[in-house]
Structure 1
């Protein structure tokens, strides 16, 4: 993680944006890099600013927070999302978008403190782990706990409410979200090629043009071709090529 957490505030009410910015000003590691008052503006600014974190209001005209969150998943740099709303009934639906947290308005300072702490934990990677990958990925499936060597994982994808890990040893079905696995695998060479797919770059063997700027790739020992969203192609090639 960089020294500061680059943060975008999105809310159609100016007072709510100002209140949240004031509360976040007490955290020296939170850097407010932009504000947006619509879902459309959120996407534009997130594309340009590449924030690490977005505080996203749910109830906005035209493009609400849920739709904006869905579009954010397509970005090359996918930010963490904290939803905010005055209505608690949206909570269950919000977490379907893999939000890291959910805040109710008016903002409670203690709850916000817990949220920032959770964000810090998610974004922090110990230097030793980043420089010397070690250990195995523990996943629970069918009541058993399997310990997977990250180097043997080919790709991971989300299918409805199930996450599937495809490895050289077989396929595992788990409930852990793709975002959580992506965070746990930061020290290794995994890359998001689509909102629903993570790929081990060490396993990639072929990249082929598809249509509308999108590509397909192949991994070792697998016949299935995986779609690469055009938003990720440039960074993918940068990561793959010497």
Structure 2
């Protein structure tokens, strides 16, 4: 299963946001992870969720789309910028802030197709560059008086219990105050899969998928006796990821 293109829509007109979200949902590999009705709120969403691409209007009160694009240059991870506006006269300024494309309202589906094709090409190029550069990034967790750096490949699964996230290796457990969604984001790019709202599993460690009840399953991972729940909503996607 392909990792979806994480997208945010920013426009002060609710109708325009809804129309664009509707059009984007036609693509099976696009996920709208957030929206905002102003440049200020859009910046907050971008910083929090780190999308791959944003669709942003230009003429908005206070912070315009161009101002937002300029502010994004200070971020460590900058999304691709697609301007979606009713005004054609800003195109030159848009490309000066490194916009990937410029769409005019009302939206034309063929033009949007071309835009998404361009986005996918650029994302694929970036992935090739990332794969060519070896990474030694590790997950930092606290262990009594020290910080332990875990290789993602050593983690078998994570789960949320009370107000802590428990990170399991073959022979140890570590505890983190970070919510599951934050750890899931840190492990993006590694073979981790959400099997349940409270569980995230390293697919490289999966050994058995066991039928349970009402369409749900349980997983067993290498080196541990624990039975990990798999919600029936995730079973199909999980099997697609696991099986040849």
User: TM-score category by the smaller chain?
Assistant: 0.5 to 0.7
Cα distance in 2 for residues equivalent to 1:8 and 1:105: 17
Q: Distance in 1 between matches of 2:127 and 2:4?
A: 16
> Moved runs in structure 1, 4+ residues, more than 6 A?
126-129
- Secondary structure at the aligned position of 1:124 is classed as helix
Q: Tell me which of the two structures has the higher relative contact order, counting C-alpha pairs closer than 8 angstroms and 6 or more residues apart.
A: 1
The answer as to 2:61 corresponding to 1:61 is: yes
Give me the TM-score of the superposition, normalised by structure 1.
Answer: 0.52
How many Å separate the matches in 1 of 2:128 and 2:105?
Answer: 39
Measured against aligned partners, the alpha-carbon deviations of 1:210-229 in whole angstroms (never above 9, x if no partner) come to xxxxxxxxxxxxxxxxxxxx
* CA deviation after TM superposition for structure 1 residue 84, in Å: 1.2
Could you report, residue by residue, the CA deviation over 1:65-101 in whole angstroms, capped at 9, with x for unpaired residues?
0001111121122100000111111111100010000
Q: 1:99–1:188: structure 2 CA closer, same or farther, 3 Å change rule?
A: farther
CA displacement, residues 118-148 of structure 1 (integer Å, 9 cap, x when unaligned): 00000014877654x4xxxxxxxxxxxxxxx
What corresponds to 1:179 in structure 2? none
| CA–CA separation in structure 2 for the residues paired with 1:126 and 1:47 | 20
Show structure 2 runs of 5+ residues with no match. Answer: 136-185, 187-244
Map residues 43-62 of structure 1 onto 2, 5 A cutoff: 43-62=43-62
Larger radius of gyration: 2
Matches within 5 A, 1:21-36: 21-36=21-36
Aligned to 1:85: 85
Q: Please, which runs of 5 or more residues in structure 1 have no aligned partner? A: 134-186, 190-234, 236-242
Say what the alpha-carbon RMSD is for the aligned residues: 2.1
